[in-house]
Structure 1
Amino acid sequence: MSDPRSRILDAAAAVFGRYGYRRSTMDLLAKAAGMSRPAVYQYFAGKEAVFHALGERLVGEVIAAAERARDARDLSLAERLYGVLTAKLDAVTGGFGPEARAEILGEAVEVTPALVVSFKERHTAILAEVLDGEPGLDLAAFPARNVAILLSGALTGIAQEAGEPGELRALLREHVDLIIRGLARPTT
């Protein structure tokens, strides 16, 4: 059995995913965690604290998965980029429809802005690290960080599309392939 704090965060993911941040209450969070409301308050000062802690946990998981993909040197560049990007896509699409995704992401920006900015910077840096120094890419006109920003922006758009996670992953795969082909050094 997980510790109470983890149990609350697990329950919060489902509650926030179903009701969004604004309509979620500490009563709903407590009920989903199988605890009393006063018991939840022993671990979190309120709904915002739960939302922030859940965000921190999710960011940590996504960054760890992205770093594993970045460091998988036995994979092709396309596979590593795709792995870094799908770590984020899978977290964003995890059981939410496009409307719920947009609402949760909007609420995250509003409720935990520093966490969102930090995550975006860290994820972009990982993408840039995958690209930087990769032989065969022409990054003179398009610096790795700029390409990483473009990849990340496209991922945001893909995540907001209607469709099943598998369909969104296929769109992301096509985008990665397109970017790599566009950056490939011409052969003479």
Structure 2
Amino acid sequence: MKSLKTLILGSTFALGLLFSTTVLADSVYTVKSGDTLSSISVEFFGSNNNVEKIAKDNDIKNIHMIFPGQELKIITDGKTTTAPVETTTVAASEPVQETKQEVAAPSAPATTSSAKEWIAQRESGGDYNATNGYHIGRYQLDPSYLNGDYSPANQEKVADEYVAGRYGSWENAQAFWMNNGWY
């Protein structure tokens, strides 16, 4: 007959697994294509409330500008985050084994909007009024493409048409930019 003490210990351990937390150690994170400080904050802190902290810890002046391959210090200050845990029901006399479910790190795949924003930040810092002496706007377009209409709506439309015609997608334009320093 199984002892009541063994049954209570087994049940208590299973409850402990259900409500366990994982302490995140300070670490170095390598930025992947499509990452944002917001998505990195969610991955390490469970919310996007630490974007400014990550930027400060890494001396990042523009929170919208990080680069694939860039290494970021993630300083968690010993904060904890809950992690989903898979529990298994076992008989109280059997050894209880902890089975943790791996939680996939949220990563933002390269999407049209992230690749487009990535280019805009490098070309103009995201400014629709930027000029370099010849090229104009957020995407540093040739003025002849804009036909005198420098409005943000027209810049967006023309940039989308230019990228679709030349590269097929913003992701391809980003890859070209990364290899050549321009698109």
More helix by share: 1
- Same fold per superposition (TM over 0.5): no
Larger-gyration structure (1/2): 2
Q: TM-score, normalised by structure 2?
A: 0.26
More strand by share: 2
